[in-house]
Amino acid sequence: MDKNVKISILCDLYGKLLTEKQFEFLDDYYNNDLSLSEIAENNNITRQAVRDNIKKGEKKLFEYEHKLLFMKKIIIQEETIQKIKKQLVEVQKNSSNKKDKETLEKIKKQLNCLV
């Protein structure tokens, strides 16, 4: 997984555990695609101070994930749901019972809500 995507997901999961500035800078840098210079200018601080805050925030996010494993669990859950959906499609194709097909369709819709 791309580092930018990973950090963006980790910010969603653990962002509230960071300092307000760390979260703000990470959000601006990774989600709003602002440069270090733009963030520095917007906050009247140096580019280096922005970089330091971002690096500290990244480190914290990876520490939280290492300990709590929420992102890993979510990814595994999503992969499992996708496998189940594929199996449901196969069963649905091979089923001739209309009621069973409707039930399988309802189950697929419920699984879609979890992803």
CATH 3.40.50.1360 fits 3-68, yes or no: no
DSSP state of 15: G
Rounded to whole angstroms, how far apart are CA atoms 57 and 55? 5
> Per residue in 40-94, pLDDT tens?
999 999 999 999 999 999 999 999 999 999 999 999 999 999 999 999 989 888 8
Rounded to whole angstroms, how far apart are CA atoms 25 and 23? 6
Contact, 7 vs 26, CB < 8 A?
yes
Phi-psi region of 69 (alpha: psi -120 to 50; beta: other; left: phi over 0): left
DSSP string, 100-114: HHHHHHHHHHHHHHH
> Per residue in 8-53, pLDDT tens?
999 999 999 999 999 999 999 999 999 999 999 999 999 999 999 9
Residue 64 burial (CB count, 10 A)? 18
Q: How far is CA 90 from the centre of its chain?
A: 29
3-state secondary structure of 99: helix
